[in-house]
Structure 1
Amino acid sequence: MRKRNLWILSFTLLVVMVGYGLVLPIMPFYIQNLGAGGRELGWLMSTYSLMQLIFAPIWGMLSDRWGRKPVLSIGIFGYAITLLFFGLATQFWMLFVARTLSGILSSATMPTAMAYIGDNTAEQERSAGMGKLGAAMGIGVVLGPLLGGWLSEYSLQLPFFIGSGAAFCALVIVLLILPESHNRRSAAASARWNWGCIRGVILSPAGILLLLIFLIAFGLASFQGIIGLYVIQRLGFVTTQVGALWMVMGAVMIVVQGALIGPLTKLLGEVTLIRLGMLGSTIGYGLMLLAGGFITLLVAVGFLTLALAIVGPALNARISHYAGDHLGGVMGLNSTAASLGRVAGPLWAGPLFDLEMSYPFIGGMGVLCIGFIVSLVGLRGKQYETLKV
């Protein structure tokens, strides 16, 4: 795969994740100005993830039929428009509509970008390509809230306008420079993608990978949902220390997925990396409970993030091998499994934290340990059979 195309895809996902992160520090203040409260904020956040869960496989299927470039362009254009709509909103219903459309349209970008990687890379190099996309997203997750907080000092609307402008720039680059990667033969074959195909994927060896993708997203979202409260209430951290934790998570994710995942895949293979990542994330959750201060917690967070950063690209690359002519559809199911984990994780961890602040970590260890056992039993060797429908 040409490096230029990989950079374009990485920049596109970077813009999407920066736009997502821009919203996080601003939204509570923004909805207050419109007379809304906590319940409405919950609707906005959950609606975005729910729309991504529903529409990611649909966009993936359409990218198999129409091509990667048109679907990716639709996603970026829609995302740019919805960010602009956010900045212009004067009533809560306008925010809700914009957030809903943002979830629907932005869900086209991730599965399509991963399918593009699958179209253009050799099987042994896919983990490295997926890792670079993950690194770009990690940079966006770190930069988004920082830019949002800084720009909001001038105006609460300004971050949305800046994010919209960046998305339009990414759209122009995709339209003018990025070539199409999907061939007509595959497009004709993908027209047979239907609910029977989805059932076939779930019941095939790829279904085990979808389960692991759900579990790892569940574990990460559970951790992210309660770590701030945990360190404040148990260890008495101040805002700068909480910010340092997020910076460590972002830095480790960027370095591992951007530079190390390719060599590690060549050295150990995808299956070994998946197993090590599941085991390491289980241990990382346990280390969180043992940490008693700022430095030890930084080490625990770094170890947990390292494990999660290893397993993600390996899972994405592994499941792409099974897709055959339905790469977009399968990567859409991949995104749906991850979205479901991101929705369920915080909903599960929050009530457990209210019962006892250590319960989410104990439960997370159990969930990820199950994932490790599944990876030992269900992932076998280097052979895989592509989906035939």
Structure 2
Amino acid sequence: MNMKKPATILSFTLLVVMTGYGMVMPIMPFYIEKLGAGGRELGWLMASYSLMQLICAPAWGMLSDRIGRKPVLTIGVLGYAITLFLFGLADQLWMLFLARSLSGILSSATMPTAMAYIGDHAPKEERSQSMGQLSAAMGIGVVAGPLLGGLLSSDSLALPFFIGAGMAFLAFLLVIFILPESQAPQAPSGRKPRVNRLELRQVFTSPAAILLLPIFIMSFGLTSFQGITGLYVVDRFQFNTQQVGIVWMVMGGVLVLVQGLLTGPLCRRFGELPLIRVGLFGGALGFLFFALAGQFLTILLALGFFSLSLALVGPALNGYISRFAGERQGTVMGMNSAATSLGRIVGPLWAGYLYDLNLVYPFFSGAVSLLLGLLVCLVGIRRQPSNEKNQAVVI
């Protein structure tokens, strides 16, 4: 199958999902204030999205193994459009929680299924590049979402969600009418694989299982950095809004450029496993450089180095773990998404706790966590002496 058209449609779908996720960030505090709630409610409201993704992503992945990728992706995108519309209509706190939770449940069907689709059809030598394209689209959404939400909400807090719902519905139409059908791989007996506890046991006893730990650690490190950086530069350096905006633009721009343009060629040249190791080590150094930076220029340089390093890790990990999924692409990518979501929940909470103790503690902690991930990759995974790149064994 020519992957150009499917990869474009899948990238647009994940772009829409992450744009909707990002649009909530600048608007949510105003919603909370409007409804008379406080910081605790805001924290739980933000956590509910990732928590639902953590719970539901593995189930969606297993279901896509059973009934095919396209039906699950269709359900996820259409449901996401409906939840964004409901969010725009919400005028009570319980309605916000309901819409946000449903959004997490249904949007969690998109990422693992899209990655499983790539794992099914992309040649091994092109898999990391295709994963990088998906990651770049998600990165654009993360950057564009808050900007779009801030611009569109000046007259109406609800308008960004109605716009996002329209974009999601467009993605739904592309998926249902243009995306080629993707059948789940057949089990050896010719029957569709069944969703049961044995599937999860097989995943956790396969070589893919140990890769879930560095996936969690990478997500933990990146989101702990993102969650605290804006507050850090304001408290320590008294950055103004324009300078904070430049910080986010540098981070998002580097992530998008590296994942969209460099990851594929670098993986083909050096292999995925070496790139993962180099990226984790570079990310640990980036944490330290950022904590030690004392001027605007050095902060941007440290930020760029950190973003470049972790931009290499994500697509390489996604492409690498898909090599061990076999006929369980959906199940493995669902667990991959769950590990990522868990990192998104724990990372910002842990960084916030450490930040209250000392401003630089989150960055030192992040460096240690990425070095732990590097240790897992060095000790737990070794390349086999074979002709094919990036074959690995767990020891």
TM-score, normalised to structure 2's length?
Answer: 0.95
How far does residue 347 in structure 1 lie from its aligned partner after superposition? 1.3
Deviates more, 1:348-357 or 1:197-206: 197-206
How far does residue 376 in structure 1 lie from its aligned partner after superposition? 1.2
State the distance in 1 between where 2:173 and 2:326 align. Answer: 30
State the distance in 2 between where 1:201 and 1:257 align. Answer: 27
- Structure 2 residue 372 is the aligned partner of structure 1 residue 370: yes
Query: Which residue of structure 2 aligns with residue 141 of structure 1?
Result: 142
Deviates more, 1:239-248 or 1:175-184: 175-184
Query: Which residue of structure 1 aligns with residue 130 of structure 2?
Result: 129
5+ residue gaps, structure 1, are none
How far does residue 42 in structure 1 lie from its aligned partner after superposition? 1.2
Query: Which residue of structure 2 aligns with residue 168 of structure 1?
Result: 169
Q: Is the 8 A contact 1:189 1:325 kept in 2?
A: no
Query: Which residue of structure 2 aligns with residue 95 of structure 1?
Result: 96
State the distance in 1 between where 2:261 and 2:191 align. Answer: 35
Q: Is the 8 A contact 2:283 2:370 kept in 1?
A: yes
How far does residue 55 in structure 1 lie from its aligned partner after superposition? 0.2
State the distance in 2 between where 1:230 and 1:207 align. Answer: 35
- Structure 2 residue 362 is the aligned partner of structure 1 residue 360: yes
Query: Which residue of structure 2 aligns with residue 281 of structure 1?
Result: 283
Query: Which residue of structure 2 aligns with residue 114 of structure 1?
Result: 115
Query: Which residue of structure 2 aligns with residue 150 of structure 1?
Result: 151
> Residues 312-365 of structure 1, C-alpha deviation per residue, up to 9 Å, x if partnerless?
001001110111111000000000011111111111111111111111111111
Go from structure 1 to structure 2 and tell me whether the alpha carbon gap of 1:184 and 1:137 turns closer, same or farther (over 3 Å shift): closer
How far does residue 252 in structure 1 lie from its aligned partner after superposition? 0.5
> Residues 54-109 of structure 1, C-alpha deviation per residue, up to 9 Å, x if partnerless?
00000000111111111001000110000000111121111110001000000000
Deviates more, 1:376-385 or 1:325-334: 376-385
- Structure 2 residue 258 is the aligned partner of structure 1 residue 256: yes
- Structure 2 residue 27 is the aligned partner of structure 1 residue 26: yes
Query: Which residue of structure 1 aligns with residue 333 of structure 2?
Result: 331
Query: Which residue of structure 1 aligns with residue 387 of structure 2?
Result: none
Q: Quick one: which amino acid aligns to residue 306 of structure 1? A: L
Q: Quick one: which amino acid aligns to residue 321 of structure 1? A: R
Aligned pairs for 1:167-316 (under 5 A) are: 167-183=168-184, 185-186=186-187, 191-316=193-318
State the distance in 2 between where 1:380 and 1:79 align. Answer: 40
Go from structure 1 to structure 2 and tell me whether the alpha carbon gap of 1:190 and 1:321 turns closer, same or farther (over 3 Å shift): farther
State the distance in 2 between where 1:192 and 1:87 align. Answer: 38
Q: Is the 8 A contact 1:321 1:384 kept in 2?
A: no
Go from structure 1 to structure 2 and tell me whether the alpha carbon gap of 1:385 and 1:179 turns closer, same or farther (over 3 Å shift): farther
Q: Quick one: which amino acid aligns to residue 391 of structure 2? A: Q
Give me the CA root mean square deviation. 1.5
SS of the aligned residue for 1:257 comes to helix
State the distance in 1 between where 2:323 and 2:338 align. Answer: 18
State the distance in 1 between where 2:119 and 2:291 align. Answer: 39
> Residues 90-147 of structure 1, C-alpha deviation per residue, up to 9 Å, x if partnerless?
2111111000100000000000000011111111111000000000011111111111
State the distance in 2 between where 1:343 and 1:44 align. Answer: 12
Q: Is the 8 A contact 1:190 1:326 kept in 2?
A: no
Go from structure 1 to structure 2 and tell me whether the alpha carbon gap of 1:10 and 1:49 turns closer, same or farther (over 3 Å shift): same
How far does residue 374 in structure 1 lie from its aligned partner after superposition? 1.3
5+ residue gaps, structure 2, are 384-389
